[in-house]
Structure formats: C-alpha cells, structure tokens
Structure 1
Amino acid sequence: MAENTSGDCDVMELSEAVKLISKNAQDVFINKEKIKGVAENVMQHLMKHINIFYKLNNNFLRPKSYPYEVNEQPIMVNWLFVLNTLNFSLWYPKNIKQWKVDGREGYIGLCNAIRRAIENETPVWNPEYYARMTKSELEHILRSDDGEPDIPLIDERLKILHEVGEVLLTKYNGTFLECIKLSDYDADKLMKLLFDEFESYRDEVIYDGKKVRFLVKARSLVCDMCMYFKNKPSFKLNTSNMMSTIFTDYCIPQVLFKLELISYSKRLVKRFANNDEPLEHGSREEIEIRGCSLFAAKEICKEVIRISQRHVQENRILKSKKAFNPQVAVDNFLLKFAFIIPKVSGLIENDESLKLDPLHYIRSVHY
C-alpha cells in the first residue's frame, strides 16, 4: 500500500469540503437561485422518459465508444483500466491544433486509439507489455491522424503505464481483476485501493490546510466498470456505499456555466479568454472550479429529492427507493448536455454552444 493509506489520512468528507470551497471561493460563484429550475428540468426529463426510468437512474451513462468487446473478463477489465489510466489532459488550449484519432478529439479519440491498437493485435491491455513499453511504441499507439500534434504529456503517460503495470505484476498477479476481487467487488473499497496503490489515481489537494480527495479518475473507472458489466450478473460492483460525487469532465463546468449555475469573476473570465496557460492541479482557481461544480451538483440532487416527492403518488415507479437514484440521474443529465447536447427546454441549442463559454485547461495526470 502507499505510505499514506486511506485509513491513515485525516481527510475531510467531500461534501463538507466542497461546501467550504464554495463559501470561500474568490473567483467561482454558485448561483443558488438557479438550482430549483435545473432540478425541475431533471425531473421533467425523467418523467418524459419514464419508459426507461430504471436505466436513467441506475446506470451511469457513457458515450458508446468502448474500444473492445471480448468474452474474457480479465481482458475486458484490464483494457478498461488502461483506458481510464490514460484518460487525462487530452486537450490543448484553444487556437492550438488538437490531437485527433479517426477525426475525434479527447476521450473519444483515446478510445479510437486503443481500439486501433487492439485491431492491430497490440496487447495494450497486458501489463507485461505496457510495463516495459518504449516511448516510440506508445507514440505509435497514440499517433494522431496526420502525425501531429502528439497527445499531450506523452512522457508522463509512459511513466504512468510503467508504474501501474509494475504494481499489477508485482502485487496483483498481473491483472486489475485481482484488485476488484480484493476489494470484495465493492465500489467504495475499489476507489480507495486505486488511491492507495496508484499514484496517478491519487487525486488529492490541500485547501484551507485540509486534504480534499476528488477521486475523479477512480470514480470514472468504477462507473465504466458498472456500465460495461451491467448485464453480466457474474460481475457486479456494489455501489451502495460509493463516495458521492459527480463525473467532473472538463465540459461539466462549462455545462454548469451555460445553465448559469456557476459564474466566474471578471479576472478569471479574462484569463480564460486571453491566456492559454493551463491551470495547475491543486491551484486555488482549479480547486474552486471543481469544488463549486461538485457543490452545485449536490444542491441539484437535494432539490431533485424534494421535488420528486410530488411525483411519488402520481407514479408508482418513484415509490421504490431502489429505483430512484437522484445522484445518478443528475450525473447523467449533465453528461447528456456535455456529450449529446440535447434540446432540453431550450437551455442548450446546439453542439457548438459550449465552445462559446469559458473552458479551463488543466495539465494534470489526475483527470
């Protein structure tokens, strides 16, 4: 285990941490008067799609871009681990040519690159391979459509693959499936194991002298596992005690900004508009963006729970607490804006609208 394991660290509860961050923030602000309206839209969306209610409230929606499907469980688990391990800092600041694979940027481009490698019979899921991978091999696997630019932080990605591969080989029989088994198929335990064992999953910052764990990459991996194996009874993660948070993709703060749930100071807006220098992981501005985004999502969840009581008597589906998971519903609602950009109450009109709003660029191995 890592030197400071989960049980040893004096960590603030995330909900209290983001509340403190939102209260003391200097450049990011929560527009609380907008929360009720967004929560109403979440419930309207759920009621409109009542025929797929269970799916919307019990499955973490993800873009249908998984790079590979195979019946061998260890291989599926291992490539999902590699995909999420490499899923960080995939963007360059605006006005700079973006890294693309098969015409797609960001996460989808990464999925495409891994799919391409697998189709070329490169065992990218095997820690025996990537723990000793050369830089030229990784550059070839992650090459862009026309050869430039390279994926951001290529050296850091190679180092991380070497590190996580070595941990799996020396401690977990060369497979991430062993990590899941030793976590008793429990999502919360698995997230803590990821934090303790793998440096790039140790998403922790110091705010006001206290440790705050966002654990975005760890949660993203666990959600991907849940989604991918949702129809496989032999592999089911227990998410009942999973740390409450949201999937804080780069675009989620943009969505919240578009919905007017968060706003930025003039200084921060000017920086995003005129300064292409990425924010640093753990900087005050970056912590405020992430913390306030999480706090806003949590406040939406509270309001959704309150509003849902009006619908309990009207619809028998809502009477089952097991069937209604507001956290997942809000998470999926925000992700649909980020990835699909639906026309929900006219809030976002098309897939280009988010590009008009401030986007923070970050250079971090954590997300």
Structure 2
Amino acid sequence: MAEARRVDQSEPLPWNLAGGIEEPATNIVKATTAYVAENATHVSISAKGIQATVDGISLETLRELVSPKAYNTDIHYVDGGPLTVQYLLVVDALNFCFWPDEELEYEQLSTGVKAALEADPTALDAEKLMWITGEGVRQLLGWKRDVPLQEERARLLREVGSSLVRHFRGSAARMVEAAGGSALALMALVAQVFPGFRDHTIYKGRQIFLYKRAQIFVGDVYGAFGGEGLGAFWDIDQLTMFADYRVPVVLRTMGILDYSQGLEDKIQRREQLPPGGEEEVEIRACTVVAVERLREALAAKFVGTPGARLPHAIQLDWWLWETGERERLRHPPHHRTLTTFY
C-alpha cells in the first residue's frame, strides 16, 4: 500500500483559528438541549430509569467503557496518520439516514470507505471529492444499488473537498491541528467550514444545536488515535453524545426515555416525523440530556471508588450505540426522519 501523505509541520497553517473562530467556553449543545428537555411535552426522562441502569453497571463494566477498545477500530481505517483523519471526515460527512435501505447500516458505510481507501490511498483526496457524483458515492461505499439520498451525499462530499482545499490545502489533519487541541473548538470549526454539518433547528422560538456529525467527527478522531497525537483534546469531556435514531431506542428499552402515546403510535406505525418538528427535536434533545444525567449518576455512584474513571459522554454513546446495533432486530422500531443530519 502506498504511504499516506504526511502533514508538513514546517508549513504555516492556512487557517488562523484565533482570527477565524472564537473558541467556545462551553458546549452550546448542552445548553440548548437542556431547554428542550425542560419544556418537552412528547418526551420525558425518567430518573428512576437512570438509577436502575446505573445500579446495574459494575466497576468492571465502567472500566470497559473507558478502555481504548471502547472505540471499534475493526470497522474503521486506522493507520495512525493524517489519512485516518481524512477517512473519518468523509465517513462522518456521509453518516446519516441509512434506514430507507433496510440492509444498509453504518458498518457498511465505514467498511466500504475503508476498502476503497485500502485499494487506492488517493481515493479520498480533496481534489477528487470536489468532483464526486452520486454514482461515485455508491462506488465509494461499494454498495450494490443507489444509497438513500445519494445525490445529497455527493453534494456534501463536494462541499468537504472544496472547503478542505480552500482552507486547509486539502488536509483534514490540518483542520484538526488548527483547533489547538480543543474538542469544542474543532466542533465549532467543522460547523463553520462545512455548512452541511450545521445541525441546528428552532424549538419553541429558540435556536437548538445538536451538531451530531460535527461532534462525532471529533469523537472519532479521539477514539482512532486513542486520545494521543492528533486525537489529543484537553476538553474531550465537554462533548455530548451524538443524537441519532439508534440510541433513543436503547434508552427507551432501559426505561430512561418515555414517549407520549401519540408519539409512540407514530413510531410503531413507522410514520415519518418531519425534521425540526417538536417531536423529532424532543427525541434528540432529550437523548442528549438523558446521557448527561446518566453520566452524573455514574459519577455519584463511583465517587471515591479506587480505580474508577468517569466515562466521557462519547464513551457512553459508543456503548449505547453498539448495544443498539447488536439488538436492533429485537428492539422496537426507531423514529424515522428524512434528514442529512443523522
């Protein structure tokens, strides 16, 4: 295999973080989703469900949650260099709305792009992404038919390619370096540079930020590099979970999330919820807040316990999401929203 291109550390970064974006002090996702949870009428968070879940988590399980193996490297391209970051940005640009194709899951996306990159180390060059077509997306995934929202996925990859060329000489690793080791700064930078990552909406007159794909990119870089090198972020604990449609199902089966009967009926009928509607926003926002409360309850349980480390919200997300993936054939249906955000 050809050697991955290396970032020339001697060259100045083309993006000046201090001049281009103000580093946030707190995660705007936490602040705005809390407002939704406080005012929700279709979704509620059960304190009893959280406590019951925490009661069932042992110290051994907690240690597994914070171990390096918590991030699944088997289904991702990980070479320890800049090409890994390029791969993760492409995967996370495409990481949404699989459910219209019942056979397509995230694993097919990540392993498909991984195989394409292993066959051709230049497959994800920004200059190539700038011109990718819908058919090119299908070929990149190695999928046997058109993928859902295929042309929109192609447009988003063209956006990634052109923005990387314009701001970072084509290198996603340069963008990570421009964040200066801050997870929140990188999240904000991704949302600023790539419009397709700007996952926000209006709920009862207030702007709500979810930033699922912007945050998951930061979390993936952290996980792929084991929190070192390009993956070293001093404020990684400030990220939230990544609000999607799989984790809410897991939280429901744990008794942590409760839905109104009307919302429950719509989901059981597999009725599509409109993006930005109150029900959809409440599901996603309450999922974020529920995982924050779950983390707080774990901290209360294990405070002072020798050898106990509090998992980050992203580590809890990995655990919950992988549980949902394993049990998806036995779990109740998830909500369905046609969107590019998750």
The TM-score normalised by the length of structure 1 is 0.79
Q: Which residue type is aligned with residue 352 of structure 1?
A: L
Q: Report the CA distance shift for 1:88/1:332 in structure 2 as closer, same or farther (over 3 A).
A: closer
Equivalent positions of 1:271-290 (< 5 A) are: 271-277=266-272, 279-290=273-284
In the TM superposition, what is the alpha-carbon distance from 1:358 to its structure 2 partner?
A: 3.4
Equivalent positions of 1:214-233 (< 5 A) are: 214-230=210-226, 233=228
In the TM superposition, what is the alpha-carbon distance from 1:8 to its structure 2 partner?
A: 11
- Report % sequence identity: 22
- Taking the aligned partners of 2:176 and 2:32, their CA distance within structure 1 comes to 28
Residue 317 of structure 2 corresponds to residue 331 of structure 1: yes
Moved more, 285-294 or 135-144: 135-144
Q: Which residue type is aligned with residue 258 of structure 2?
A: S
Residue 127 of structure 2 corresponds to residue 128 of structure 1: yes
- Taking the aligned partners of 1:82 and 1:252, their CA distance within structure 2 comes to 22
* Corresponding residue number in structure 2 for 1:110: 109
Q: Which residue type is aligned with residue 298 of structure 1?
A: E
- Taking the aligned partners of 1:69 and 1:299, their CA distance within structure 2 comes to 32
* Corresponding residue number in structure 2 for 1:79: 87
- The CA deviation string for residues 221-265 of structure 1, in whole angstroms up to 9 with x for no partner, is 11111111117x443421426534113342100001111111212
- Report if aligned partners of 2:46, 2:255 keep a CA contact under 8 Å in 1: yes
- Taking the aligned partners of 1:161 and 1:153, their CA distance within structure 2 comes to 12
Residue 183 of structure 2 corresponds to residue 184 of structure 1: no
* Corresponding residue number in structure 1 for 2:252: 257
* Corresponding residue number in structure 2 for 1:142: 141
- Report if aligned partners of 2:173, 2:230 keep a CA contact under 8 Å in 1: no
* Corresponding residue number in structure 1 for 2:79: 70
- Taking the aligned partners of 1:288 and 1:359, their CA distance within structure 2 comes to 14
- Taking the aligned partners of 2:293 and 2:205, their CA distance within structure 1 comes to 25
Q: Which residue type is aligned with residue 250 of structure 1?
A: Y
SS in 2 for 1:317: coil
- The CA deviation string for residues 184-227 of structure 1, in whole angstroms up to 9 with x for no partner, is 13211100100111111111111222222111111111111111
Query: What is the root-mean-square deviation of aligned Cα atoms in Å?
Result: 2.8
Residue 307 of structure 2 corresponds to residue 317 of structure 1: yes
- Taking the aligned partners of 2:301 and 2:260, their CA distance within structure 1 comes to 31
SS in 2 for 1:316: coil
In the TM superposition, what is the alpha-carbon distance from 1:306 to its structure 2 partner?
A: 1.4
SS in 2 for 1:18: helix
Aligned residues: 323
- Taking the aligned partners of 2:182 and 2:42, their CA distance within structure 1 comes to 37
Residue 53 of structure 2 corresponds to residue 57 of structure 1: no
* Corresponding residue number in structure 1 for 2:38: 23
Give unmatched runs, 5+ long, in structure 2. Answer: 1-14
SS in 2 for 1:363: coil
- Taking the aligned partners of 1:12 and 1:63, their CA distance within structure 2 comes to 25
- Taking the aligned partners of 1:294 and 1:172, their CA distance within structure 2 comes to 31
Give unmatched runs, 5+ long, in structure 1. Answer: 342-350
- Report if aligned partners of 1:88, 1:365 keep a CA contact under 8 Å in 2: yes
Moved more, 150-159 or 61-70: 61-70
- Taking the aligned partners of 2:94 and 2:315, their CA distance within structure 1 comes to 27
Q: Report the CA distance shift for 1:224/1:286 in structure 2 as closer, same or farther (over 3 A).
A: same
Moved more, 17-26 or 194-203: 17-26
Pairing partner for 2:197 from 201, 206, 209 = 201
* Corresponding residue number in structure 1 for 2:60: 48
Q: Report the CA distance shift for 1:12/1:79 in structure 2 as closer, same or farther (over 3 A).
A: closer
SS in 2 for 1:70: coil
Q: Report the CA distance shift for 1:16/1:139 in structure 2 as closer, same or farther (over 3 A).
A: closer
* Corresponding residue number in structure 2 for 1:296: 290
- Report if aligned partners of 1:219, 1:247 keep a CA contact under 8 Å in 2: yes
- The CA deviation string for residues 44-72 of structure 1, in whole angstroms up to 9 with x for no partner, is 2xx1347xx2x53265833344343435x
- Taking the aligned partners of 2:85 and 2:315, their CA distance within structure 1 comes to 25
Moved over 4 A (4+): 5-9
SS in 1 for 2:188: helix
Q: Which residue type is aligned with residue 128 of structure 1?
A: E
* Corresponding residue number in structure 1 for 2:11: none
- Report if aligned partners of 2:156, 2:196 keep a CA contact under 8 Å in 1: yes
Q: Which residue type is aligned with residue 306 of structure 2?
A: R
* Corresponding residue number in structure 1 for 2:341: 366
* Corresponding residue number in structure 2 for 1:175: 171
